Structure 1
């Protein structure tokens, strides 16, 4: 779900849109809703013939269904650009198509993100392009520079995942966040660079006892398509965060700078597993279909506000570099090095405050002290 560079807004009334898909019935439903909005919408379920039948100069936007991802979609876009180099494209998904087409025309999607401060925040210099090399570099740098934390939940401030609020907090405020903040920001960054990105949801399985009832979808991850290959991207999973994208089109194990992972088909979605203690352990179960921002608002409310959320009971902070994983659970501080060494330490309140500032590079505030002292008291010794 990625639009072209924004232009001046277009009135929906009379806007001209061409929709390409594979299903006549789906097209009929989408075109009917677009017409009800006052949009001059046309479409075809024979997309390969579209460049001959439809002149790209006649449209403000050309929307392509999810079945046209990959080479087929790229070929169609190239043919349309031969007639109109400035035509805008939208890769969309049927359940979201009308909303995304309307917001793309109004230039409110994707939300703005200020790339320069973000790239400075993660220590990335120079131009960026939508390549696999760029994706891997940004994915490695992000969890090193921006820690995982949910301190605002413990401070009863809630978590605002609106784009501007997240950017102010994680980029300009040099704070960390949890999955909806990290991956929401990363999604907007990647879209601004030109990647095709879809938001996914996941049921967390990590550390759950066998036979435990399935948890709600409370984690956000991303699917990024590069050169027709889908990649799992996740910069917001705490102490087990990925340090590189994982291919989603293979079940083969994939090594990272830390653990080895694999993705296997699992019902309508996929299961992410980690090789640890000489066995494959489940990390989370991915949804099979994309999610909208509203889906994350609901999950974020549950994660930040529900009394059963573990974020409301424990101080959890993590930072991952290529050399080590640093984690803090209340006062229990652990460093797991990529060479297999492990350092463990139980900290009092002063020690917690010190590692928050030094290791996790957080701007510790005086009003955090009561929360830090509670975390120290909760630590088993």
Structure 2
């Protein structure tokens, strides 16, 4: 059951959705597409010394009314409340991110996922993975190539965990392994504290933003580098030169409601502590 304090209409207005509210697979596809395009993946509060808060009031204040985005835990917690408010049955899960690693790497479970149980079967919903978040629901069944508004995707079984892969050009690249057991919100709080405060996590030092773009593109930003990747696998890259360009990209291309001082502070942290080379594949 959804929390009584969730403002369903404000969420739907924020993501620009005015379609059916019946809890069907078709509606789920449309909600994922709308939410992921409207609310950018970003972790900039961590650079500003603000560990993300996962309580519903904070999530709504930041991402619905505040015009900001969020990273995986924030995004999928908010999306979960939206789905529950419409009558969907949700199982909260976690995943092991293996993007850019060996597919069977012994990784911790730091990514939040949602399983939506429908008459058609169990489906994955994930609006919080950044540069490769699925832009439609995916049937949680191995060995089936599934079309999305962006890349084809599929699951394969690796050490008992369904592993999500995306087809980029002609290559299937792995993204994360889904742990098939329900998780409690207290476990997400532990994960959130780790990712938001650990000195080796990338979020304290680097500007990381992503969202799907028009015509099946994906737009990502890692520090000064902005990449537009096309459905063909080709990409355009450019490097931002000054604060004015940062303001233009963060506010214009990613739709983030940030003050001049907030943007300036992020740039300062990036220049002092950020990675200087190409981003990790997870953020490319």
Q: Taking structure 2 as the reference length, what is the TM-score of the superposition?
A: 0.90
Alignment CA distance shift 1:283-1:211 (3 Å): closer
What is residue 16 of structure 1 aligned with on the other side? none
Displacement after TM superposition at 1:245 (Å): 0.7
- Separation (CA, whole Å) in 1 of partners of 2:103 and 2:26: 40
Displacement after TM superposition at 1:331 (Å): 0.5
For residues 172-211 of structure 1, the aligned pairs below 5 Å read 172-208=65-101, 210=102
Displacement after TM superposition at 1:252 (Å): 1.2
Alignment match of 2:30 (pick from 137, 142, 146): 137
Q: Are 1:372 and 2:267 matched, yes or no?
A: yes
User: In the alignment, is the contact (CA less than 8 A) between 2:205 and 2:269 conserved in 1?
Assistant: no
Q: Secondary structure at the match of 2:37?
A: helix
What is residue 49 of structure 2 aligned with on the other side? 156
Question: Which of these two proteins has the greater Rg computed from alpha carbons?
Answer: 1
Alignment CA distance shift 1:318-1:211 (3 Å): closer
What is residue 214 of structure 1 aligned with on the other side? 106
What is residue 360 of structure 1 aligned with on the other side? 254
- Separation (CA, whole Å) in 2 of partners of 1:173 and 1:360: 14
Gaps of 5+ in 2: 279-284
- Separation (CA, whole Å) in 2 of partners of 1:218 and 1:371: 24
What is residue 189 of structure 2 aligned with on the other side? 297
Alignment match of 1:281 (pick from 149, 153, 173): 173
Higher relative contact order (CA 8 A, sep 6+): 2
- Separation (CA, whole Å) in 2 of partners of 1:205 and 1:211: 6
Q: Are 1:272 and 2:167 matched, yes or no?
A: no
What is residue 153 of structure 2 aligned with on the other side? 261
Per-residue CA deviations over 1:165-194 (Å, capped at 9, x if unaligned) read: 001100000100001111001111101100
User: In the alignment, is the contact (CA less than 8 A) between 2:247 and 2:260 conserved in 1?
Assistant: no
Which structure carries more helix by proportion? 1
- Separation (CA, whole Å) in 1 of partners of 2:20 and 2:164: 32
- RMSD, matched Cα: 2.0
User: In the alignment, is the contact (CA less than 8 A) between 1:223 and 1:232 conserved in 2?
Assistant: yes
User: In the alignment, is the contact (CA less than 8 A) between 1:143 and 1:321 conserved in 2?
Assistant: no
User: In the alignment, is the contact (CA less than 8 A) between 2:80 and 2:114 conserved in 1?
Assistant: yes
- Separation (CA, whole Å) in 1 of partners of 2:80 and 2:42: 19
Q: Taking structure 1 as the reference length, what is the TM-score of the superposition?
A: 0.68
Per-residue CA deviations over 1:313-357 (Å, capped at 9, x if unaligned) read: 211000113522110000000011235542110112322221001
What is residue 231 of structure 1 aligned with on the other side? 123
What is residue 337 of structure 1 aligned with on the other side? 230
Per-residue CA deviations over 1:177-222 (Å, capped at 9, x if unaligned) read: 00111100111110110011111101111122x3885221110011
User: In the alignment, is the contact (CA less than 8 A) between 1:111 and 1:163 conserved in 2?
Assistant: no
Per-residue CA deviations over 1:267-287 (Å, capped at 9, x if unaligned) read: 343111122253222100111
Residues matched between the structures, number: 273
Displacement after TM superposition at 1:367 (Å): 2.4
- Separation (CA, whole Å) in 1 of partners of 2:54 and 2:91: 17
- Separation (CA, whole Å) in 1 of partners of 2:271 and 2:224: 5
- Separation (CA, whole Å) in 2 of partners of 1:315 and 1:241: 18
What is residue 7 of structure 2 aligned with on the other side? 114
Moved more, 257-266 or 168-177: 257-266
- Separation (CA, whole Å) in 1 of partners of 2:137 and 2:53: 26
- Separation (CA, whole Å) in 1 of partners of 2:23 and 2:151: 26
Alignment CA distance shift 1:211-1:286 (3 Å): closer
